[in-house]
Amino acid sequence: MRALPFALVPICALAVTVLPAQADTLSVRFSWAGIPACVAISPAFELGGVPVGTKRLRFTMTDLYVLTFQHGGSTITYDGDSVNKGAIRYTGPCPPDGERHNYRWTVYALDSGDTVLGSTSAEAMFPP
């Protein structure tokens, strides 16, 4: 049997179901503007792409210059894409006088069973 040239091979059409794209990837933005040094007042946060099924948000903060210091964080009820200033319990940024440190906030989107649905982080120098 002789092989047919590619152009003569019949092509069957396949039905393909395209699922809608997952919502945008979880994102977070914040600014240290108006946050005093050495005070536990968290900045306001703006979230985007929060996964469907998110019930709570867990926030943690890390000083990228002193990784061993535990700033902590807290978990709050997800109530929309804005988190008010002061809503997170933690130990505030307090670099030595005259120094600036880079701090990272990490946010975890949790379902009702505390399964992580997504996470993201954002960094900024303090003081701004």
Compute the C-alpha angle 69/72/74, nearest 5°: 175
The domain total for the chain is 1
User: So what's the pLDDT on residue 20?
Assistant: 39
- Which segments of the chain have a pLDDT < 70? 1-24
Query: Which pLDDT tens digit goes with each residue over 21-41?
Result: 444 699 999 999 999 999 999
Query: Which pLDDT tens digit goes with each residue over 89-105?
Result: 999 999 999 999 999 99
d(CA 107, CA 115): 13
The CATH number for 76's domain is 3.90.280.10
**Do residues 37 and 92 touch, judged by C-beta distance below 8 A?**
yes
Assigned domain for 119 exists: yes
Domain that holds residue 45: 23-126
Q: What is the DSSP letter of 81?
A: S
Its pTM stands at: 0.80
